[in-house]
Amino acid sequence: MLFMNGSYDNAPIGVYDSGLGGLTVWREIRRALPGESLVYLGDGKNCPYGSRPREEVRRLADDAVGRLVAEGCKLVVVACNTATAAAIDFLREKYAAIPIVGMEPAVKPACLATRTGVVGVLATERSLDGELFRRTAAKYGDGIEVLTLPGRGFVELVEADREQTPEAEACVRAALEPMLARGADQIVLGCTHYPFLRPVMERVVAGSGVAIIDPSPAVARRVVQLLDRDGLRAAPDHRPDYAFLSFAGAAYRKRLEEKAFESMS
């Protein structure tokens, strides 16, 4: 139920991803809204989603968002590009009583900022095949060369806590160097797992003037806008609580919690 402007709602914000990746969005929401309670659901059991059939991803997303709604969340962020591409319209129709925020491909700012006319997009196969990405690229990519590539192995590296390994650097170089060779000066991160590899990416592009674009801060700003629009902010004296859920069991849930607060350092 939506509240009139000027009222308060201390219910939590729900954040959902296939696994650990959405914690990059969780981090930005917590920074933008330090007084809000958050419930994070990292599936874990079915991660990665990137190459799964669209119908299967939609079912998994429905299960997850339904769980967050059952937890009493006042707004849900689908912090998974693959789930957004496959299911966001379905989710907004089924759970029409609450605002649902998806991941917007950051192609627009990349196309507006490019100096070379070449933009690289790293994303999962399912995200690159999604209508939202194709529509956004067509709208803002006129006259721009948009290079797309799945971040092969990226999700698995993050899920295994191997972001700072020689294997990670090799995977990142294999993805970025062809884009750089073709003149890309903007690299869009189209999966919420990928920002965990940003330190490696920054080393690879060091000195080249290439910008790496993470959409997570823009998603947090959208959450702020919706809370203010619908009068859903927590009361000023509310003490925020942070809960973590998973379909993969207690050990994975503990990893989510540890990674969440590690990411704030």
In a domain, 62, yes or no: yes
Residue 3 lies in a domain: no
Whether 68 and 141 map to the same domain: the answer is no
Distance separating alpha carbons of residues 124 and 8, to the nearest angstrom: 38
Residue bearing tokens 């690299």: 187
| Number of compact structural domains in the chain | 2
- Report the pLDDT value the prediction gives residue 4, as an integer from 0 to 100: 44
* 41 falls within a domain: yes
Say if residue 186 is in the same domain as residue 131.
Answer: yes
Q: Any idea what DSSP says for residue 196?
A: G
Q: What is the pTM of this model?
A: 0.92
Q: Give a yes or no: residue 58 inside a domain.
A: yes
Question: Angle at CA 243, nearest 5°, toward 237 and 246?
Answer: 160
- Report the CATH number that the domain containing residue 192 is assigned in CATH: 3.40.50.1860
Could you tell me if 118 and 201 lie in one domain?
yes
Q: What pLDDT, on the 0 to 100 scale, is given for residue 92? A: 98
Q: Are residues 23 and 75 in the same domain?
A: yes
Which among 49, 138, 140 has a CA at the least distance from the CA of 86?
A: 49
| Domain annotation covers residue 7 | no
Rounded Cα gap, residues 146 and 105, in angstroms = 12
Tokens encoding 251 = 């050990």
From CA 83, how far away is CA 64, in angstroms rounded? 10
Tokens representing 238 are 């509310």
Residue 265's pLDDT is: 45
Say whether both 208 and 220 belong to one domain. Answer: no
Q: Determine, yes or no, domain membership for 160.
A: yes
111 and 196 co-located in one domain: yes
**Residue 191 falls in the annotated catalytic set:** yes
What pLDDT shows up at residue 6? Answer: 53
DSSP 241: -
pLDDT tens-digit profile, the chain (265 residues): 344 445 789 999 999 999 999 999 999 999 999 999 999 999 999 999 988 999 999 999 999 999 999 999 999 999 999 999 999 999 999 999 999 999 987 899 999 999 999 999 999 888 888 787 888 888 888 899 999 999 999 999 999 999 999 999 999 999 999 999 999 999 999 999 999 999 999 999 999 999 999 999 999 999 999 999 999 999 999 999 999 999 999 999 999 999 999 845 4
Return the pLDDT at 264. Answer: 53
What pLDDT is recorded for position 2? Answer: 41
The verdict on 114 and 204 lying in the same domain is yes
Amino acid at 168: A
Secondary structure string (H, E, C) spanning 56-109? HHHHHHHHHHHHHHHCCCCEEEECCHHHHHHHHHHHHHHCCCCCEECCCCCHHH
| 195 and 227 inside one domain | no
Catalytic residue among 47, 73, 80, 111: 80
Show Cβ contacts of residue 55 under 8 Å, excluding neighbours closer than 6 positions. none
Residue 200 lies in a domain: yes
Which residue in the list 73, 111, 171, 191 is annotated as catalytic?
191
Q: Are residues 80 and 141 in the same domain?
A: no
Look at residue 1 and tell me if it is in a domain: no
- Same domain for 250 and 221, yes or no, is yes
Under 8 Å between Cβ of 249 and 225: no
Domain that holds residue 182: 107-213
Sign of CA dihedral 59, 65, 70, 71: positive
Count how many residues are written for the chain: 265
Q: State whether residue 123 is helix, strand or coil.
A: strand
Same structural domain, 146 and 200: yes
| pLDDT value, residue 99 | 97
> Within this chain, do residues 209 and 116 fall inside the same structural domain, yes or no?
yes
CA distances from 236 to 31, 88, 221, 240 (A): 16, 31, 19, 10
Rounded to whole angstroms, the Cα distance separating 217 from 26 reads 10
Q: In the chain, what is the straight-line distance between the N-terminal and C-terminal CA atoms, in Å?
A: 35
Q: Which tokens hold the place of 167? A: 């294997």
